[in-house]
Structure 1
Amino acid sequence: MTEAVFRETTAEPRTQSVPLAHLSLELGHLYMEDFEAGPERLREHFAEIRLWADAARASAARRTGGRSPRVSTCFLIDDYFSRFSTPAELIPSVLHEAERAGVVIDYLARESACAAADRIELAEAVSHRLVESPSPGSYGSRPPVSEVGWLANGQRTPTSDRAALDEVRGWQPPQETAARNHSVFMDVELWSERDGVRLWSCPFLAAVWQLARLGLLRHLGEPVLVPRPWNGGDFPHDWDRLPPLLQLNPKAAAFSAYRTCTVLPNRFLAIEDAVRLILDQTQVDAGALQQVAERSARERLAVPGAVAQRATYVFYEEPVNSPSEEGI
């Protein structure tokens, strides 16, 4: 006799799916220094962006076999490391200069939303999903990333505090775990703390941002950073009153996508290298990954298995008098 097994439906973990475009194209990730430089700086930025955005769309069309690709655009404003001006003053200027260059911004996000949004501590949740890649010969002398807030892509230079009976050795270089012939070693600071308050680093927030754009962020199975439609009225005078993620274009393709392309000034190169390191060592929600795999298969689209490989970049040269990386 076969026994029936009963389970409450609420006990079954479910991962809610999100709509996916073919490509999420980021048209800007600017900081206070960029806006302080005035409308001319924004004008130059979008004029350059337009060229690379067209190329990214053409590339997306090639990947879809000539079919018209679903491409959404987004723009990120820093309100986490500094609060410059107000949404009411800043956003219309951004939209005006984008329109002047023939660029449409579909979605606008606040960088603080990558730390916390809708009462969910997104950055902290992602930090709990970090899985350090063990390097050959490591002996655990350094505390885990959860304690120190540093993440590396290999074996750091050994410290000199080994036990007295250990063999005395000379200096040893750091080693990249997946090095090809020679190592390119990176050690990335994910956060700092002062008076018990954690300040997330730019690379870590950017990694959260990439996961959101790739449709891989969930909280208890529910999507996070869900776009909210903007009614076309005036923007608020307080950043905290601005929704974390706005959908400015009602006809836009989905915010999240199978792949992302980010067009940035070349001063962001080191930061985005760090972002890829973080993505490589983040255990992404398995249900979300499975949904992307199944849907891309139905659409006959090739999507890389490694999450970091789904993010692509274009780095362009800035004018000589552009803001320096010191403000990042």
Structure 2
Amino acid sequence: MNQPSSVFRETSAEPRTESVPFSHVSLELGHLYMEDFTEGGDRLRRHFATARPWADAARAGVGTRLAGGRPRVSTCFLIDDYFSRLSTPAELIPPLLAAAAEAGLTIDYLARESGCAVTTGTDRAEVHPAESVLQRLVESPPPGSSGFRPPVSRIGWLSNGRRAPTQRTSAALDSAGAVWQPPSETGARGHSVFMDVELWSDSDERRTWSCAFLAAVWQLVRLGLLRDNGRAVLAPTPWDDREFPEDWDELPSVVRLNPRAQPFTAYLTCSVLPTRFMPVEHAVRVILEQVHIEAQVQEQVNQRSNRESFTVPADVADRTSYVFPPGL
């Protein structure tokens, strides 16, 4: 009888999963396109004045989930420097912070959306968070799926169910009794809300990630669930009172503006966004429902939250919440 052989492995061969600190909630105070900033200071002041009562309500809601103690809430703001760059950090950020302060809000962390695509790690090497999330997608095959649909890694589309069958182009393949079938949502409650999400588009020059996919990466980063070879991704860089640069690439992907801020990563996220982001964030949930989270990372969240008796939903998508105020 052959005895099972022992396998010896150097512990240094397996990357250690870096631990991150957790707030209870990461509160996003906004996400604006470059075009929004061109409307001037009034647009920014109107944004934060509208967001302020909803941000206060989100903070108050955290306290109701705690058995005791003071809720830890950090705030953040995401700037879209990925799809366009109509201004510089030096020109754009100071009026943004002034408008927030005028409404009585403090932005603890400022992030660049391009960092969700490509950023620099602690060892100064390039890190590709979006590509990392793509490799973690585990598609949920709908009931009765034939496997005809190519994998998401090839076509760049991810759905939450079964598409309607495509029309055949050959009469020989069509049967006389063939009828149209509607798309269906996997796990639908009564009626389907089917969605097919484009994750990227390719050109001769580069791959352009979709807004929805980068927003999903942004949520995973805020939830502290993304690692690169065991290292935390998009760790904040203290900025203090330094002048902001003239080039976006000279600004770290996430900067900590408030030295007394609670941790950037959190058990839950809440985002106060304009209503135009509703379809994007629906797409984000479709993506998050099909992302595989590393067991060691999830275990860190479970251990920390259990020690605080703070309930964290098992499904990643359910850890996110949104407010879409009218007029924002």
TM-score, normalized by the shorter chain, greater than 0.5: yes
Task: State the shift of 1:11 in Å.
Answer: 2.4
Aligned residue type for 1:122: P
1:55-114 Cα shifts (integer Å, max 9, x gaps): 011001111135210100000001000002100010001000011111000000000001
CA-CA distance at 1:14 after TM superposition: 2.4
Equivalenced residues, count:
318
Where does the alignment leave 5 or more consecutive residues of structure 2 unmatched?
121-125
Aligned-pair Cα RMSD in Å: 1.7
Distance in 1 of aligned mates of 2:6 and 2:244: 57
Deviation sequence 1:103-152 (CA, Å, 0-9, x none): 00000000000111101011011111111110112212221111111110
1:181 partnered with 2:190: yes
- In the alignment, which residue of structure 2 is the partner of 1:68? 70
| From 240, 252, 263, the counterpart of 2:261 | 252
Superposed displacement of residue 211, structure 1: 0.2
Alignment-mate amino acid for residue 91 of structure 1: I
Deviation (angstroms), 1:18: 0.3
- The whole-number CA distance in structure 2 between the counterparts of 1:162 and 1:295 is 56
1:149 partnered with 2:156: yes
Aligned to 1:326: none
Q: CA deviation at 1:196?
A: 4.8
* Equivalent position of 1:126 in the other structure: 133
Residue range with higher mean Cα deviation, 65-74 or 213-222: 65-74
The structural deviation recorded for 1:166 is 7.4
2:305 pairs with 1:289: no
| TM-score normalised by the chain length of structure 2 | 0.93
1:316 aligns with 2:325: yes
1:280 corresponds to which residue?
289
Letter in 1 for 2:90: A
Unaligned runs of 5+ residues in structure 1 are: 320-328
2:238 paired with 1:229 = yes
Q: Which residue of 2 aligns with 1:18?
A: 20
| Match for residue 78 of structure 1 among 64, 77, 80 | 80
More deviation in 291-300 or 9-18? 9-18
Provide closer, same or farther for how the CA distance between residues 202 and 5 of structure 1 changes in structure 2, counting only shifts above 3 A: closer
* More displaced stretch, 184-193 vs 134-143: 134-143
TM-score normalised to the size of structure 1? 0.93
Aligned sequence identity (%): 62
> Per-residue deviation at 1:231?
3.0
Task: Give the aligned residue type for 1:160.
Answer: Q
Distance in 2, Cα, partners of 1:165 & 1:263: 50
SS in 1 for 2:273: strand
Measured in 1, the distance between the counterparts of 2:194 and 2:7 equals: 52
Aligned to 1:210: 219
Per-residue Cα deviation, 1:184-243 (whole angstroms, up to 9, x for no partner): 000011100111511000000000000000000100111010000003121000011011
1:317 Cα deviation from its structure 2 partner:
1.0
Q: CA deviation at 1:292?
A: 0.1
1:316 is paired with a residue of what secondary structure? coil
